Chain A
Amino acid sequence: MICPILNSYAEPVVRSEARKTMAAARIPLTRQALAACKLCAHQCGVNRLGGERGRCRAGADARVFSAQIEVGDELELLPTFAIAWSGCDLRCAFCLTHEASWNPSIGARLKPEELSVRATRALATGVRTVMFLGGEPTVHLLAVLETVARLPDEAPLVWKTNAHASAQARALMAGLFDIWVADYKFGNPDCARRLAGIGNYETVVRENLLWASDHSDLIIRHVLLPGHVECCWEPMAHWLSTHLPDVKVSLLDSYWPTERLRLPPELHRTIARHEKERAWDIARECHLNLIECNP
Chain B
Amino acid sequence: MNTPAHSAPIQTADLLITAEGKIHVHNLTPALAELLCELNPRDASMKMRAEIAGARPADNTVETRTEPP
Contact = CB atoms under 8 A, between A and B. Distances in A.
Interface of B: 1, 3-5, 7, 9-10, 14, 16, 18, 24-30, 33, 44-45, 48-50, 52-53, 55-57, 59, 61-69
Given A70-B29, A71-B49, A121-B61, A127 B56 contact: yes
B67 to A, nearest CB: 6
Interface in A50-89: 57, 63-72, 75, 78-79, 81
A133 B59 CA distance: 23
Contacts of A96: 14, 26
Contact of B63 (A65, A79, A118, A125): A118
Interface size class of A (residues with CB under 8 A): 35 or more
Contact of A70 (B3, B10, B28, B67): B28
Contacts of A100: 9-10
A72 B25 contact: yes
Given A72-B25, A108-B67, A254-B24, A64 B9 contact: yes
Contacts of B67: 108
B27 A66 contact: yes
Contacts of A68: 27, 29, 64-65
A206 B28 CA distance: 29
Contacts of A126: 55-57
11 contacts: A64-B66, A65-B10, A65-B66, A66-B9, A72-B27, A81-B62, A100-B9, A125-B56, A125-B57, A258-B14, A294-B45
Nearest to A115: B66
Interface of B is mostly: loop
Nearest to A82: B27
A118 B49 CA distance: 22
A116 interface: no
A273 B59 CA distance: 40
B30 to A, nearest CB: 6
Contact of A79 (B44, B52, B65): B52
A172 B19 CA distance: 46
B10 A270 contact: no
Main secondary structure on A side of the interface with B: loop
Contacts of B66: 64-67, 107-108, 110
A223 to B, nearest CB: 11
Contacts of B63: 118
A106 interface: yes
Given A69-B56, A100-B9, A122-B59, 16 more contacts: A63-B69, A66-B10, A68-B29, A69-B29, A69-B62, A70-B28, A70-B29, A71-B52, A75-B48, A100-B10, A103-B3, A107-B9, A118-B62, A121-B62, A126-B55, A270-B16
Given A78-B52, A125-B57, A126-B55, A71 B28 contact: yes
